[in-house]
Chains A and B, each alone.
Chain A
């Protein structure tokens, strides 16, 4: 017994230090289990804390936009504990279930949404280089993230269906109509960076854009520049943010799919929404904004790289993580800004925007970017600059035995 605990602790430490450059042997189950708990714990906190911060940010930004102050009391001058106080209040509220509701589905729906939102983070890397900060390094990361985020729609439809409320049902129907319209252009947008990098591996995608901001896919050519905004529009639609918040549409459907929810279950919908906002923003930042590679390559200029030793590499990764999160928060801020400025679209207008405008634009941009890439495969920044040496090396599959390399250090 004691030996088991000791062993587990040993491997926990091993896995922890794995972040610093070592890793658990393939065959140790307990070690991997502990490592999985560790990763999930970290990601759970990331999602929960980011939801707290984003809700606070949303209220502060909305306040400033509307000539108000926003929260000012709880947690000092800036009210930054307001969300926590609200969360506590929600915890103590009665968990209402409407008569006639499909109880099992009604209760499970918020968790489905939250799990889908959280699940997407498993494959999202927070830093790359030789030892990527990622819970599960998948070579089809982009695909995984999109697929798992797609499950979130079920929670909305389940909630709307199970609530036994007509308004909820309307919300669910709208969500179902909306999902088929934005998923198509969203997929087309994501395909472009994948094509440029020649990989669906998010770590690889991020590292292809290393160096200066000139290497970002956003600035790769005019087509990718346009497609980033198409991606952002579709991403906003995919997380049900205004002006695409039709499933909850306050002035029309009371509160849409979560009309009948209260207390903690309701707050799980909220967490899922903010979690998804962060997920699509992170994805957008990795695909188009260079991921963890900054506008200025501070880390490599300071020599914070793995070849100078694990500590330096680790610091470099931390810096990259901060960089990536900063970009994601910036995108989230834009979403918040848009929400408090624009009126809501009508359902048919959302379908029109996504299917009639975004899809053809995305398709045309995809074609354009493909042609551009074929004509100038080694050039970045609208063809003005030569792609960095590392990028060209990365482009060749033989030069990227990344996982093995990590194991050897």
Chain B
């Protein structure tokens, strides 16, 4: 019953509840760094979510206009700091596209090998952190245990564990050390059975399914409209992966590699007989599917790494020497997107003929992926907000740059 109160001094006559604005982040355990979400809540129900970004802005693009491309490589590491190798690769390929440079065959396989290992490491963090978002701690440590082994391998190859600067313009800073491939092989053999553990603890866990199935539903149309990419896009059933659909300079890296894009087709994932069946409660485009795509991509990357190791061993010659530190760039502009673990990462470079680019811009995949949050979180419960944001697997370093 709506009653109008003439005199404001008369206290409200009907019982009403107020909406409450809650600030989630930038200091909050489940906002993946320094994301800030402003929630408008009615009790436990969230009516509106507004993401605020910019807390990790480090002027990475402007710095790129003061350094030569090779000097800029360490800054790309710090964009998506969970997949530094893939960031290095994206920038290196962009500059190579401008220089019209092709890395030798051995360098190509080395890049595939390293980039896919980087993808495994990155998805492991995404998976473990998602467990944390849903309130289970152990899978996070299981994921980090395996990631540590990948980081050990990376450390042996390039000396760094997080900011590698390994893949660079022209190839890689160094060839793989002796015995590295054997260690990598041993890691993969040990790692593949462990994936079943993750499926038991998360993918097929009843509570996990209850928390993720049907939550944060992202339709394929909406995913395309918002420019989503990576597992977020493929989790909605859109068959798009730049490793197959990208520009030639990037896709030629994966020539004669055998892999199938992870995406649901006719209710099935590629070669899904090895994996747990898709629970009936789930709907295409929900948090569960985004998570599952990541899990399957880990398996896919393991296959790619194995192929790359074989091809790398079979190829002769140089791994690709880096270009000179102050090599002059031809005038022109170039843009290239690559398939980073979190989606399509684009680098834009304009050169006026000097060694230092005139303009550097970066297209962030997580920025677009994060932009669907207000749509996905409308009308959900507070507990679903971490579930949705976690399933998008954003890295603030990449969004803010």
Contacts and interface: CB of A to CB of B under 8 A. Distances in A.
A66 B142 contact: yes
Nearest to A347: B44
A243 interface: yes
B8 to A, nearest CB: 25
Interface in B205-252: 205, 207-208, 210-211
Interface string B134-157: 111110011001000000000000
A111 interface: no
Interface residues of A, number: 30
Contact of B383 (A66, A68, A249, A342): A249
Interface in A233-260: 242-243, 245-246, 249-254
Contact of A166 (B22, B44, B142): B22
A32 B383 CA distance: 51
A341 B140 CA distance: 11
27 contacts: A67-B141, A68-B141, A166-B20, A170-B22, A173-B43, A243-B135, A245-B135, A250-B135, A251-B135, A252-B135, A252-B383, A254-B29, A341-B201, A342-B136, A343-B135, A343-B202, A343-B207, A343-B208, A344-B134, A344-B135, A344-B207, A344-B383, A345-B207, A346-B210, A346-B211, A349-B207, A349-B210
Interface in B42-73: 43-44
Contact of B386 (A243, A251, A341): A251
Nearest to A253: B382
A363 interface: no
In the A-B complex, list the 9 residue pairs whose CB atoms are closest, starting with the nearest: A344-B135, A251-B30, A343-B134, A343-B136, A66-B141, A346-B383, A343-B207, A166-B22, A66-B138
Contact of A340 (B28, B133, B137, B145): B137
A103 B236 CA distance: 50
A65 interface: yes
B398 interface: no
A319 B381 CA distance: 50
Contact of B382 (A170, A250, A340, A344): A170
Contact of A65 (B28, B134, B138, B381): B138
B386 A343 contact: no
A173, A250, A252, A343: which has the most chain B beta carbons within 10 Å?
A343
A174 B44 CA distance: 9
Contacts of A65: 138
Interface string A343-359: 11111110000000000
Interface in A49-79: 62, 65-68
Interface string A274-309: 000000000000000000000000000000000000
Contact of A343 (B29, B211, B382): B211
B385 A342 contact: no
Contacts of A341: 136, 138, 201
Interface string A314-355: 000000000000000000000000001111111111000000
A346 B382 CA distance: 9
Contacts of B137: 62, 66, 340
Interface of B: 20, 22, 28-30, 43-44, 131-138, 141-142, 145, 201-202, 205, 207-208, 210-211, 381-386
B135 A254 contact: no
A246 B145 CA distance: 28
Interface of A: 62, 65-68, 166-167, 170, 173-174, 242-243, 245-246, 249-254, 340-349
Nearest to B201: A341
Contacts of A242: 135-136
B381 A346 contact: yes
Given A66-B138, A167-B22, A344-B207, 15 more contacts: A170-B22, A173-B44, A242-B136, A250-B29, A251-B30, A254-B29, A340-B138, A341-B136, A342-B205, A343-B135, A343-B202, A343-B208, A346-B381, A346-B383, A349-B211
A347 B131 contact: no
A367 B44 CA distance: 36
A345 B211 contact: yes
A167 B385 CA distance: 14
A241 B114 CA distance: 42
Contacts of B20: 166
Contacts of A345: 207, 210-211
Contact of B135 (A68, A173, A249, A348): A249
Contacts of A243: 135, 207
A248 to B, nearest CB: 10
A265 B131 CA distance: 30
A403 to B, nearest CB: 47
Contacts of B384: 346
Contacts of B22: 166-167, 170
B207 A347 contact: no
Contacts of B28: 254
A237 B340 CA distance: 42
